[in-house]
């Protein structure tokens, strides 16, 4: 993974953004070189003390030239930027209220992303799966404060604002995993509001979709059965949803397929049974300010919960 994902675009939109950036960089670099160069020339030429250059006042031609030239440059940059924004405008045409227009509905929360796959019933968190080569419309909003959704290699940056719907296109040219970030300061754990975009070949995407639609069967192992009971009887089920259990709140990440996700807590930890246990034992140790409190679970409860959650593939 490069440190400069912006320079490694993996979609037509990201490529156009990179090209615009490079063009503006050249223009500003050129202006900087001219201005800095002239300053250096003046410093060198008139370096002797008391050696003043010839003074020149009230030249209309020169004044007009240095007003018109920057205006042309600024208008040019505005025009190429506006063209790009309009080319990739994802705002849908007027649609009846309540009608589904987006392929993905993403909601920012402090500090995780809720991802809903329109028309499929699938809800997940901090992970987005898309088929390669298909342009998907993403509807963005927020459940609390302003966040900003950004997958540098795939799309433009877009704010997720409470009470408002914003739209962007999301598309990947090649299969792979792309890093996503929250790009707007949204509280103490803003830096841990990461997500991953998995782009699959179309047939692999269909397989993922089919798997994701399956409601995980009730556990059969005694530890996992106890864990399921713990999940439903404690506060967990007041915030989290797990399909097939009756727990359906969306205050916190949907856990229906948590065991198949690769990260925990929006990128803080790699998803493993050990890390899941550490996370449940003391969330604030990994993510201070996180909304999930330390429930002072006993070792037994922790073991049971982990055993249950690991069955949710």
Q: Is residue 290 part of the contact set for ligand CUA (CB under 6 A)?
A: no
Residue 46 or 185 with smaller CB distance to ligand CUA: 185
The dihedrals phi and psi of 179, each to the nearest 5 degrees, come to -80, 140
User: Cis ω on the peptide bond leading into residue 238 (within 30° of 0)?
Assistant: no
Query: Cβ distance 140 to 146 under 8 Å?
Result: no
Residues 117-156 that bind ligand CUA (CB under 6 A): 147
* 77 or 191: CB nearest ligand CUA: 191
- With CB under 6 A as the contact rule, the residue among 184, 254, 304, 310 that binds ligand CUA is 184
Of 63-71, 114-122, 184-192, 220-228, which segment contacts ligand CUA by CB under 6 A? 184-192
For residues 80 and 23, is the Cβ–Cβ distance under 8 A? yes
Record the tokens describing residue 50, joined without a space.
Answer: 């008391």
In the chain, the largest separation of any two C-alpha atoms, in whole Å, equals: 94
Element (H, E) at 277: helix 273-281
Count of residues engaged in binding ligand CUA, rule: CB under 6 A? 9
Q: Nearer Cβ to ligand CUA, position 108 or 253? A: 108
Kindly state whether residue 268 participates in binding ligand CUA, applying the rule CB under 6 A.
no
Asked if 186 touches ligand CUA (CB under 6 A), the answer is yes
26/185 with CB nearer ligand CUA:
185
Under rule CB under 6 A, residue 265 binds ligand CUA: no
Distance CA 151, CA 128 (A): 11
Q: Measured at the alpha carbon of residue 15, what is the angle toward residues 11 and 18, in degrees to the nearest 5?
A: 140
107 vs 301, which CB is nearer to ligand CUA?
Answer: 107
Task: Name the one range near ligand CUA by CB under 6 A: 46-54, 75-83, 182-190, 232-240.
Answer: 182-190
The region that residue 170 occupies, defined by phi over 0 for left and psi between -120 and 50 for alpha, beta otherwise, is: beta
Of 259, 233, 237, which Cα lies nearest the Cα of 248? 237
* Dihedrals phi, psi of 59, to nearest 5 degrees: -95, 105
- Tell the smallest beta-carbon distance from residue 184 to ligand CUA (Å): 5
Q: Least distance (Å) from ligand CUA to the CB of residue 148? A: 7
For ligand CUA, the closer of residues 184 and 304 by Cβ is 184
Q: Which of 90, 193, 292, 309 binds ligand CUA (CB under 6 A)?
A: 193
Binding mask 97-116 for ligand CUA (x = CB under 6 A): -----------x--x-----
Q: Are 123 and 240 in contact (CB under 8 A)?
A: no
- Residue 65: its H or E element: helix 60-87
In the complex with ligand CUA, which residue's Cβ is closer, 124 or 237?
124
10 binds ligand CUA (CB under 6 A): no
From 278, 237, 261, 268, select the one nearest 313 (Cα to Cα): 261
Q: Shortest CA distance to 137 belongs to which of 114, 169, 113, 108?
A: 169
Residue closer to ligand CUA (CB basis): 156 or 200: 156
In the complex, the residues that contact ligand CUA under the rule CB under 6 A are 108, 111, 147, 182, 184-186, 190, 193
């Amino acid at each position: 993974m490069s440190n400069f994902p912006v320079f490694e675009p993996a979609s037509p939109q990201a490529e156009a953004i990179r090209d615009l950036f490079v063009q503006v960089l050249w223009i500003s670099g050129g202006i900087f070189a001219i201005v800095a160069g002239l300053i250096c020339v003046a410093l060198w030429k008139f370096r002797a003390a008391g050696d003043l250059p010839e003074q020149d006042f009230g030249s209309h031609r020169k004044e007009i030239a240095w007003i018109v030239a920057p205006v042309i440059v600024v208008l040019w940059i505005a025009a190429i930027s506006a063209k790009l924004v309009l080319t990739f405008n994802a705002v849908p045409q007027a649609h009846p209220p309540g009608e589904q227009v987006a392929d993905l509905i993403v909601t920012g929360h402090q500090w995780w992303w809720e991802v809903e796959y329109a028309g499929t019933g699938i809800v997940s968190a901090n992970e987005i799966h898309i088929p390669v080569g298909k342009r998907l419309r993403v509807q963005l909003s927020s459940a609390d404060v302003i966040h900003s959704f950004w997958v540098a290699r795939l799309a433009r940056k877009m704010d997720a604002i409470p009470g408002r719907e914003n739209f962007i296109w999301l598309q990947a040219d090649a299969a792979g995993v792309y890093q996503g970030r929250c790009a707007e300061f949204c509280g103490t754990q803003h830096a841990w509001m990461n997500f991953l975009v998995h782009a699959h070949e179309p047939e692999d995407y269909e397989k993922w979709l089919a798997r994701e639609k399956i409601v995980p069967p009730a556990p059969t192992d005694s530890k996992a059965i106890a864990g399921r009971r713990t999940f439903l009887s404690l506060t967990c089920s007041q915030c989290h949803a797990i399909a097939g259990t009756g727990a359906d709140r969306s205050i916190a990440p949907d856990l229906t397929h948590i065991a198949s996700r690769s990260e925990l807590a929006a990128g803080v930890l790699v998803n493993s049974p050990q890390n899941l246990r550490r996370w449940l034992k003391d969330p604030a140790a990994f993510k201070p300010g996180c909304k999930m409190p330390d429930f002072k679970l006993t070792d037994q409860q922790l073991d049971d919960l982990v055993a249950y959650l690991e069955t949710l593939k």
